[in-house]
Amino acid sequence: MPSSENLADEIDEARQQYAALCYRLAKTKKKKTIEVLLITSRDTGRWVTPKGWPMANKAPHEVAEQEAFEEAGIKGKVSDTPVGNFRYLKRLGDGTSVTCVVEIFPLLVRKAKARFPERDERVRKWASPEEAAEMVDESELKSLLIDFAGRLGG
């Protein structure tokens, strides 16, 4: 187990990303249900949230909103308050890997467009937060998905 000093060094060396936790609400006769959106990554095909690198002249939640559209065709209302963050290991184009810390912002989906920039490179899937937690690899993201559902009463 790394020492707290080593962990601090790892976080200092980590690269920042911003993600959208895209969700929609549905009411049935008995209760309100929540679904979250996952997409496949372009390189490994694993299930992830739309995310990307910081952008000049954009606030973190605006980056998350733009990535949601580019990677998943999602339009909606993004919160400027993150629900948390998670870490993962990103493989770069040169074959090296870097630890990324991803700050994740909830985005209430209003529209899911059929035409969007990365439509031919990704698959979209709606799932309950519990199902989504089973699909993703990152343990911190699993916890965020379950916690988020609890906050919304799902």
Beta partners for 77? 108
pLDDT at 68 over 90: yes
Asked if 52 contacts 66 with a C-beta cutoff of 8 angstroms, the reply is yes
| Mean pLDDT within 53-61 | 97
Which CATH number goes with the domain that contains 64? 3.90.79.10
What is the maximum alpha-carbon separation in the chain? 52
| Residue 28 lies in domain | 4-149
Q: Is 67 exposed, middle or buried (0-12, 13-18, 19+ CB in 10 A)?
A: buried
Residue 154 domain flag = no
Q: How confident is the model at residue 58 (pLDDT cuts 50, 70, 90)?
A: very high
Instruction: Please say if the pLDDT value at position 42 is more than 60.
Output: yes
Q: Which residues of 115-131 are buried (b: 16+ CB within 10 A; e: fewer)?
A: ebeeeeebebebbebee
Q: Is the pTM of this model over 0.85?
A: yes
* Terminal-residue alpha carbon distance, the chain: 35
**For the chain, how many structural domains are there in total?**
1
The residue written with tokens 């799932």 in the block is 127
pLDDT band at residue 151, thresholds of 50, 70 and 90?
Answer: confident
- At 93 the pLDDT is 82
- Establish if 78 belongs to a structural domain: yes
Cα–Cα distance between 154 and 150 in angstroms, integer? 6
Does residue 6 have a pLDDT over 70?
no
What confidence tier does 154 reach under pLDDT thresholds 50, 70, 90? Answer: low
Mean pLDDT of 63-72: 98
